[in-house]
Amino acid sequence: MSNLTTGKPKIVPITGAGACAQAMRQINPDVVAAFPITPSTQIVEDFSTFVANGQVDTEFVTVESEHSAMSACIGASAAGGRVMTATSSAGMAYMWELLYVAASMRQPVLMSLVNRALTGPINIHCDHSDSMGARDAGWIQLYSETNQEAYDNLVMAARIAEHPDVRLPLMVCQDGFIISHSIQTMQLEDDKAVKAFVGPHLPYHSILDTAKPVTWGALDLQDYYIEHKRGQEQGMRNALRVIQEVSDDFAKTFGRQYNLFEDYRLEDAEIVLVAINSVAGEIKEVIDELRTKGEKVGLLKIRSFRPFPYEQIGQALSNAKIVTVLDRSASFGAHGPLFTEISTAVYNYASGRPLLMGHTFGLGGRELTLRHIEHVISESRICLDKGEVGNRQGMWLNVRGDKS
């Protein structure tokens, strides 16, 4: 690896995908295995250039599918390497089977996921059906509102995933096109500083250690399987603490503080919106506007969806009067995945009893404008005044012909 920068961080204009490729270059993984799919392709292309220019030590496996990408990542991780991949939508769906294997083998594979609608019908634009569908796969999921957050989350990823109390794969999610293809200015940290923050990768029962041969991936039947799954769950529970520890250290090192979620003008808020990823930016703008008019409105933005910080979120929503959750994916015949989690958090951990309302929006890249968000807030106000959500529950926003 050559040409490491030393010195000051730089403010750069860069796309979200480009920012993640830069993080990967600075992390300098031993192996990357990836397959192109819009809108994550730029990550793979930029990274290939770093390989071609000798800027990384990485062996880049140009696999013939995403199924093979994840398989190769697991193999390389078992061989003691630090391993990364990038994908979207159908690409991650094609990895599905192996997502679970990576988690159960406790391989800290890192993924940069650019959220895109799952096919059916085919679409290339943003929604969260890909990562939300994988929420039970056993991966840590960190979400990012901006290019800076996508980059920062990836810089923190290895230390969280590889922590001995965790040892789980981790995906950093960002919104397809809205973030991946939009140029924003952000702070690109110095190469050496990132390298020092990330630290070396320590192999764990490497399959290349012929002196101590290990069997990885044995058949695990009814006499042991559930104990291994319980161990996996413990890793996830520990991750809540480790994510916060690593985030605090990141804040000390680079000056940007992240938590398990972001509370935006929440303390005295009567109406609280809950959202994930880029739409939080628009919501904040509307909140600032309405606050000047005296409307007590705030936002809770999810960063860690897996593990889900139920207790902290429940407490943060204790003073809310109505919580309106915006899901960017649908669970057909059921409430959206974020709404379900928020309801659980509020029911079990909030001292107050806010009304809970859930909406679905943005599937396949459908925009949600500032006007739509204002409307959501004024509807929330109406529900609050009436003391019930009524038939506004489960509305789909900005959909032609929705009579619900």
Partner 1 sequence: MIESSGTLAELSPETKLMCERPGTFSGGHRMCAGCPTGLFTKMLTRVSDEYEIVAGNATGCLEVASSIFPYSSWQIPWIHTAFENASAMMSGVEACYRSLVRQGKMRKKLKFVVMGGDGGTYDIGLQSLSGAMERGHDLTYICYDNGAYMNTGVQRSSATPLGAATTTTPVGSEGSGRKGNRKDLTKIMLAHNLGYVAQASIHDIHDLFRKMKKAIDHDGPSFINLLSPCIPGWKIDADMAVESARQGVECNFWPLFEVENGKFTINYRPTVKKPVTDWVFSQGRFKHLKKHPDVIAAFQAEVDKQWAWLEMEEARTK
C-beta of 221 vs 400, nearer to partner 1: 221
Give how many residues touch partner 1 by CB under 8 A: 44
Indicate whether 2 belongs to the interface with partner 1 (CB under 8 A): no
Q: Which of 20, 34, 74, 194 binds partner 1 (CB under 8 A)?
A: 74
Question: Which 89-128 positions form the footprint of partner 1 (CB under 8 A)?
Answer: 97-98, 101, 105
Cα atoms in the Cβ-side hemisphere of radius 13 Å centred on 400: 1
Q: Which of 15, 41, 42, 71 binds partner 1 (CB under 8 A)?
A: 71
Tokens of 41: 């392709």
Tokens of 171: 């995906």
Print the binding letters for residues 227-266 with partner 1: x by CB under 8 A, - otherwise: ----------------------------------------
C-beta of 80 vs 364, nearer to partner 1: 80
Indicate whether 33 belongs to the interface with partner 1 (CB under 8 A): yes
Indicate whether 272 belongs to the interface with partner 1 (CB under 8 A): no
Q: Which of 36, 80, 133, 394 binds partner 1 (CB under 8 A)?
A: 80
Closest listed residue to residue 142, CA positions, set 158, 164, 126: 158
Amino acid occupying residue 174:
Q
Q: Which residues have C-beta within 8 Å of that of residue 203, sequence separation ≥ 6?
A: 79, 80, 81, 209
Q: Specify the DSSP class assigned to residue 222.
A: T
Neighbours of 333 (CB within 10 A): 5
Residues paired with residue 120 on neighbouring β-strands, in sequence order: none
- What is the C-alpha separation between 203 and 211, in angstroms, rounded? 14
C-beta of 30 vs 379, nearer to partner 1: 30
Residue in this structure with the two tokens 């996830």, named with its chain if needed: 236
Burial class (CB in 10 A: 0-12, 13-18, 19+), 83: buried
Print the binding letters for residues 194-233 with partner 1: x by CB under 8 A, - otherwise: -------------xxxx--xxxxxxxxx--x---------
Residues that bind partner 1 (CB under 8 A): 30-31, 33, 57-59, 61-65, 67-69, 71-81, 83, 97-98, 101, 105, 207-210, 213-221, 224
